[in-house]
Amino acid sequence: MGYLFTSESVSEGHPDKIADQISDALLDEFLRRDPDSKVACETLVTTGLVVMSGEVKTKAYVDVQEVARRVIRRIGYTKHELRFDAESCGVISTIHEQSPDINRGVERGDELNQGAGDQGMMFGYACNETDDYMPLALVLSHVLLMELAKIRREGKEMTYLRPDSKSQVTIEYDDNNQPVRVHTIVVSTQHDEFDSDDERMLKKIKEDVRNILIPRAKARFPERVQKLFTDDYILHVNPTGKFVIGGPHGDTGLTGRKIIVDTYGGKGAHGGGAFSGKDSSKVDRSAAYAARHIAKNMVAAGIADEVLIQVAYAIGVAEPVGLYVNTYGTSHVNLSDGEIAQKISMIFDMRPGAIVKRLGLKNPIFEETAAYGHFGRDYYKREVKFILNGNCEAEKIVKKEVEFFTWEKLDYVDILKKEFNL
């Protein structure tokens, strides 16, 4: 007998995701002016208010209030009736200096030997369910909301949409762990007031989700995934009825509260550390990215169909205290998982400084990671603005091409094939 597996996603307008995006936008602005900035920013959003806190060590000056308003404006909170809008919400900052006790263990003369910014364990995961080596239920959940946001911004269909939304997808698997069909889709979206007929409103939204949103999301996938959308899937749309009150007015949002949405949708494992608002000296972020990079390249190289990587650190120590590999019995090489782990530790330098250099994590690339998942995204290059002498009036603006989502590159496939004789 097969089984069901479910993952969820939340939109860029969800309160927790607003907080994540503000925190990562702040990080980017500090890095834009000082690539050596040490940042740990937390954000709270609620009715009419944004509160930013955390620790920063930097040479740069950033107008944090304007950064927060820009993010809120981009997401779409621009109407006063939402009780949270970019122009009128209060913005409070209590950001202060990073603890010197932490900093002394992180910064070293030799950058490659800088210590880990904290203890802990981080996980990376990959599987061959989708073309981007991610779990199918999570990817479908993300794409539904990405398309919903596009529809909202286009303003041609479903014109009642507001920014806050959630999705959830359940996949039916067979006994061989292969996806058989899409079993259930749940979409909850914030919307404008209709009229007094709540039943008519709900029927209209459900019809639009079925006839507009789902076909658009489905079209983004190859034929083998589209075939999983059979006619008998279960669809729940706004199951509680009205969803007019939403966003930070409906629910307070906090940075780091959507760590499963950000990673693998419940597949693999999670060490507990959030990503957004943290610079790459924090291994919660950089080592999780590096572990995903390893796992994805391993699956793409044909070492296994499914791979989980764990790496662990002690604060202030550069070398990991451990590296673990689990191929879930799907390995295609004549080695134990422990032997695979030994070879992987020799191929990939997992010191935090080496990870930062390998993946280019001192660039302002993080705001785009803060909604719709940090993994399974497309690697690309783009010209971005840097501000030199960003702490004084004599600042100079330069533009440089920067790589985004470097941890999604398949640049170690040939190396791994050679090392594992594939």
Burial (CB count within 10 angstroms: exposed 0-12, middle 13-18, buried 19+), residue 289: buried
| pLDDT of 269 over the 60 cut | yes
Question: Average of pLDDT values for 62-81?
Answer: 96
Tokens of 381: 């290059």
Q: Does 175 show up as a binding residue in the annotation?
A: no
**Residue-wise pLDDT tens digits, 127-149:** 999 999 999 999 999 999 999 99
Amino acid at 36: D
Is 63 annotated as ligand-binding? no
Report the Cα–Cα distance between both ends of the chain, in Å, rounded.
Answer: 34
Distance between CA atoms of 260 and 257, rounded to whole angstroms?
9
Distance between CA atoms of residues 259 and 271, nearest Å: 10
Side-chain half-sphere exposure of 192, counting CA atoms within 13 A: 9
DSSP 377: P
Mean pLDDT of 174-188: 96
CATH number corresponding to 120-127+283-419: 3.30.300.10
Average pLDDT of the segment spanning 293-319: 97
To the question of whether residue 55 is assigned a binding role by annotation, the answer is: yes
How many Å apart are CA 264 and CA 134, to the nearest integer? 7
Return the domain boundaries, the chain: 3-9+136-245, 120-127+283-419
Percent of the chain whose predicted confidence (pLDDT) is above 70: 95
Q: Write down the pLDDT at residue 100.
A: 60
Q: What number is the average pLDDT over the span 62-91?
A: 95
What does the pLDDT look like over 348-391, one tens digit per residue?
Answer: 999 999 999 999 999 999 999 999 999 999 999 999 999 987 56
pTM: 0.95
In the predicted model, what is the mean pLDDT of residues 35-51? Answer: 96
Q: Range with the lowest mean pLDDT among 92-96, 102-106, 316-320, 351-355?
A: 102-106
Q: Which CATH class is domain 3-9+136-245?
A: alpha beta
pLDDT at 107 over 80: no
At 109-120, the pLDDT tens digits run 567 788 887 899
Confirm or deny that 150 is annotated as ligand binding. no
Has 80 been labeled as part of a binding site?
Answer: no
Is residue 108 marked as binding?
no
